[in-house]
Amino acid sequence: MPPNPLFDLTGKRALVTGSSQGIGLALARGLADAGATPILNGRDAAKLSAAAATIPGALTLAFDVTDHAAVRAAVDGFEAGTGPIDILVNNAGIQIRGPLEEFSSADFERLLSANISSVFNAGQACARHMIGRGAGKIINIASVQTALARPSIAPYTATKGAVGNLTKGMATDWARHGLQVNAIAPGYFATPLNQALVDDPEFTAWLGKRTPAGRWGEVEELQAACVFLAGPGSSFVNGHTLFVDGGISVSL
Q: Indicate which residues carry an active-site annotation.
A: 156
Our measurement of the distance from residue 218's CA atom to the centroid of its chain's CA atoms, rounded to an integer in Å, reads 15
Q: Which residues contact 128 (CB under 8 A, 6 or more apart)?
A: none
Q: Which residues contact 102 (CB under 8 A, 6 or more apart)?
A: none
DSSP letters for 76-138: HHHHHHT----EEEE---------GGG--HHHHHHHHIIIIIHHHHHHHHHHHHHHHHT-EEE
Nearest to 88 by CA among 152, 175, 133, 24: 24
**What is the DSSP pairing of strand 37-40 with strand 13-16?**
parallel
Nearest to 142 by CA among 157, 155, 153, 154: 157
Three-state DSSP at 140 gives strand
Q: What is the side-by-side strand order in the sheet with 37-40?
A: 59-60, 37-40, 13-16, 87-90, 136-141, 179-186, 241-244
Question: Rounded to the nearest 5°, which phi and psi values hold at 158?
Answer: -60, -40
